[in-house]
Structure 1
Amino acid sequence: MEFDAVILAGGRSSRLGGVPKGGLLHDGATLLERALRAARGAAATAVVGPDPGNLPEGVLSCREDPPFAGPAAAIAAGLAALERHRGRDPLHRTAAPYTLVLACDMPRAGAAVRALLEAAAEGAPEDGLAAVSADGRRQPLVGLYNTAALQRRTAEAAQRGALENASVFALLARLEVREVNVPAGSTDDVDTWDDASALGVTRPPGGHGSDSHDRGSQ
């Protein structure tokens, strides 16, 4: 299945003491690198967040407006960056039919993305698919969405002034998506240092401060 990808990497990481999640390490790679690997089949990819400065060739970098405006605004920014890119590329003027939306703070998300793509190959519903964890929770930030439907929802929200600090659940509430059960642990995310420890996620070399200090500042 042809798809583009929007990777969200711009949160405040307030419960991590401001340490950017994308730069945390798991199994020798940063969480952003792992997210890019999970999305490696994408025709075009946009990373939304502070420019990390070392993105693979061809991967777009953009920022939600205003910065830290939340995941709904970040999705809109990523879609807009992909649209601008298509306008400059005569070989890829048409959007991919689906867009993978993926947060960068799930170190094992590659397994969830594979499950979505396998389910899509069997026939994706009109508005797409979203991952559901082993305990039954939908994770909209691991989703394969109909691009046109996603563009319509973000445009409607923007017209209402309802993108900034909006929840992803609110943004996508009107989409008819099929839930896909994904492998256990594949949507576990890093919000706190306890989460990081449980998932085997560590600071990059030269990280400032201590985990215990950051827990105390949450």
Structure 2
Amino acid sequence: MAEKTSPPGAAPSRTTSRGVPGRDATRAQAPAVDLVVLAGGRATRLDGQDKAALVVGGSSLLDRLLAQVGPGAPGELGGRVVVVGRTPVPAGVLRTVEDPPGGGPVAGVVAGLDLLDRASSHEWVAVAAVDQPEAGRALAPLRQELGVVPRAVQAVRPWGSGFEEQWLLACYRREALREALRSLPQVDGARMRDVAAALRWMLVLSPADHLGDLDTWADKEAWERRLDGDAAGPV
């Protein structure tokens, strides 16, 4: 499901955070962030496998993400979590489905926001496709940057060398995201890059091993090797 590539025409306006000295105190006041997890993709290159339930590194992709940034996790984002898809979710996590079912990531984001609006009102909302095994390790540092982003910045995402632009691993100002979604002629089948093109971005440097998605069985094997290496630690 993870949607990559640059939008047509000019790239979104952006600045890059490189860890400005003297900002640690402000980062400590990082705001609470709600989270929309997109888990409704068709996974055609995985033979229709429910990606959220796909086990990688000993845990399902959904369990892995929630263990990193879900309720009670070390990197908890501080807001409510909603999963968009027909996969089971644990207690304390909300669930909904996109309208229409199979309508794509933009329809999933709209469905997630609609449910979140009845449960929370935090200024920032994170969006993550479930098929990114280390998404939580990228999102937690993003939250720490939100206390220092300029008011003109409407969205923040990680950046790493060799990592393609990824709109489904990012934090968005809720109202700016809503406005960009309202500007679309329709959400069914819409592209997230068209939403992203309407926003002003800040990029946050992130370790490359936190980034990347899983679309094929070959990707799964590669991730298993990567995660086995992380667990083993330095030799």
2:38–2:130 Cα contact (<8 Å) kept = yes
Shift of 1:23: 0.6
Q: Which residue of 1 aligns with 2:63?
A: 33
Equivalent residues, number: 188
Q: Is the aligned partner of 1:106 residue 2:132?
A: yes
2:191 to 167, 171, 176: 167
Counterparts in 2 of 1:151 and 1:13: CA distance versus 1, 3 Å? same
The 1-side partners of 2:136 and 2:80 are apart by 17
Please, which runs of 5 or more residues in structure 2 have no aligned partner? 1-30, 71-76, 226-235
Q: Is the aligned partner of 1:145 residue 2:181?
A: no
Q: CA offsets, 1:104-148, max 9 Å, x none?
A: 111112221123123223335530201223215221111011011
Q: Residue 80 of structure 1 aligns to which amino acid in structure 2?
A: D
Q: CA offsets, 1:32-58, max 9 Å, x none?
A: 1122233322311110011x23x2222
Q: Which residue of 1 aligns with 2:97?
A: 63
2:218 to 194, 207, 215: 194
Q: Which residue of 2 aligns with 1:79?
A: 113
The 2-side partners of 1:128 and 1:120 are apart by 9
Relative to structure 2, which stretch is displaced further, 113-122 or 179-188? 113-122
The 2-side partners of 1:32 and 1:42 are apart by 18
Q: Which residue of 1 aligns with 2:203?
A: 179
How big is the alpha-carbon RMSD for the aligned residues of Structure 1 and Structure 2? Answer: 1.7
Give secondary structure in 2 for the equivalent of 1:195: helix
Q: Which residue of 1 aligns with 2:82?
A: 46
Q: Which residue of 1 aligns with 2:74?
A: none
The 2-side partners of 1:187 and 1:48 are apart by 21
Q: CA offsets, 1:164-216, max 9 Å, x none?
A: 11111112211101011211131211100000100018xxxxxxxxxxxxxxx
The 1-side partners of 2:163 and 2:83 are apart by 28
Give secondary structure in 2 for the equivalent of 1:151: helix
Q: Percent identity?
A: 32
Please, which runs of 5 or more residues in structure 1 have no aligned partner? 87-94, 202-218
Give secondary structure in 1 for the equivalent of 2:183: helix
Relative to structure 2, which stretch is displaced further, 74-83 or 21-30? 21-30
Q: Which residue of 2 aligns with 1:22?
A: 52
Give secondary structure in 2 for the equivalent of 1:180: strand
Q: Is the aligned partner of 1:134 residue 2:134?
A: no
TM-score, length-scaled by structure 1: 0.80
2:163–2:208 Cα contact (<8 Å) kept = no
Counterparts in 2 of 1:184 and 1:138: CA distance versus 1, 3 Å? same
Relative to structure 2, which stretch is displaced further, 61-70 or 147-156? 147-156
Q: Residue 133 of structure 1 aligns to which amino acid in structure 2?
A: G
The 1-side partners of 2:111 and 2:68 are apart by 20
1:130–1:178 Cα contact (<8 Å) kept = yes
Give secondary structure in 1 for the equivalent of 2:161: coil
